[in-house]
A = this chain, B = another copy of it.
Amino acid sequence: MRHGTADKRGIMDNVYVHGYDSRESLRLQDQANTLVELLHSDTSYPAGSRVLEAGCGVGAQTVTLSRNSPNALITSIDISRESIAEAERTVKAAGFGNVQFQQADIFNLSFEPESFDHVFICYVLEHLSRPVDALVILKNLLKVGGTITAIEGDHGSAYFHPDSEAAHRAIECQVELQRRAGGNAMIGRELYPLLTEAGFGSIRVSPRMVYVDSSKPQLVEGFTRNTFTAMIEGVRDAALRAGIIDQITFDKGIQDLYRTAKDDGVFCYTFFKAFAEKK
């Protein structure tokens, strides 16, 4: 984990806090499948429109974008060559042909100004130390009247029953590691001011709360356990190495997060989806 260099090297580079191992790819994929209806069902682009997906990672959202907008012309970029390759394999395996992939750094793009009708950016701004600069760059790539759709989580929106100080401290490890890497794991709540500062108009933020109790076994498994708790569990070694937390507290925090997946447990988390227009 190298610190403070995210800014120079752009998105999803080696300081990308979630890492690149295959379990992580699976988690992102699981996350999209579990939350796909909640987060993406209201995103589809007209036939022939040119859409830029900025930071597609391993293609978790690209498959859904492509499915929901089969006749849009999607360009998906990512700074990681490995991720782009995996995204391309995933989208081809799913049988979609309307996506072009390109390795590129959001802070060093070669597209002409006003080349796109729409920009889609999901789970990317959280990793940038200059999110407003990135949004301005993306705005310049949009035609006037074009739209941006941004989706981000917010780890400060996580609360649960039974409540647990250790669980909150374990979550804070992820927030702190991401902060040290130049990012912001609590960026969801900031989409409105960030898009405002970047000069977008007609900004509308739509929070998408994931509420999980035992009447929703698919979300208990797919979100509480296999997405959120698995993600926090995944920073264990980095957090202990960085000396942010002691092992006993972290392990108790993870145990307490899994505890919220039991019959009398409840887990809440909110994603923020923002829509805005280039005026």
Contact of A203 among B186, B215, B270 (CB under 8 A): B215
Verify if A100 is at the interface (C-beta below 8 Å from B).
Answer: no
Q: Determine whether the beta carbon of A159 is less than 8 Å from that of B156.
A: yes
Q: Which residues of chain B are near A213, meaning CB under 8 Å?
A: 192-193, 205
Verify if A163 is at the interface (C-beta below 8 Å from B).
Answer: yes
Verify if A249 is at the interface (C-beta below 8 Å from B).
Answer: no
Q: Please give the distance in Å from A234's CB to the nearest CB on chain B.
A: 23
Q: Which residues of chain B are near A161, meaning CB under 8 Å?
A: 189-190, 193
Q: Determine whether the beta carbon of A189 is less than 8 Å from that of B203.
A: no
Q: Determine whether the beta carbon of A204 is less than 8 Å from that of B215.
A: yes
Verify if A157 is at the interface (C-beta below 8 Å from B).
Answer: yes
Q: Determine whether the beta carbon of A270 is less than 8 Å from that of B209.
A: yes
Chain B residue at minimal CB-CB distance from A157: B159
Residues of A contacting B: mostly = mixed
What is the total number of residues of chain A having a CB less than 8 Å from a CB of chain B? 29
Assuming A209-B207, A209-B209, A209-B270, is B163 touching A192 (CB within 8 A)? no
Q: Please give the distance in Å from A265's CB to the nearest CB on chain B.
A: 8
Q: Which residues of chain B are near A264, meaning CB under 8 Å?
A: 193, 196-197
Verify if A120 is at the interface (C-beta below 8 Å from B).
Answer: no
Q: Which residues of chain B are near A265, meaning CB under 8 Å?
A: 193
1/0 contact string of A198-222 vs chain B (CB within 8 Å): 0000011101010101110000000
Chain B residue at minimal CB-CB distance from A186: B163
Given A160-B189, A205-B211, 18 new contacts (CB under 8 A)? A154-B159, A156-B159, A157-B268, A159-B186, A159-B189, A161-B189, A163-B186, A189-B266, A189-B268, A192-B214, A193-B264, A193-B266, A197-B264, A205-B213, A207-B209, A207-B268, A209-B209, A268-B270
Can you report 9 residue pairs joining A to B where beta carbons are below 8 Å apart? Answer: A156-B163, A157-B268, A160-B189, A161-B189, A193-B265, A196-B264, A197-B264, A205-B213, A207-B268
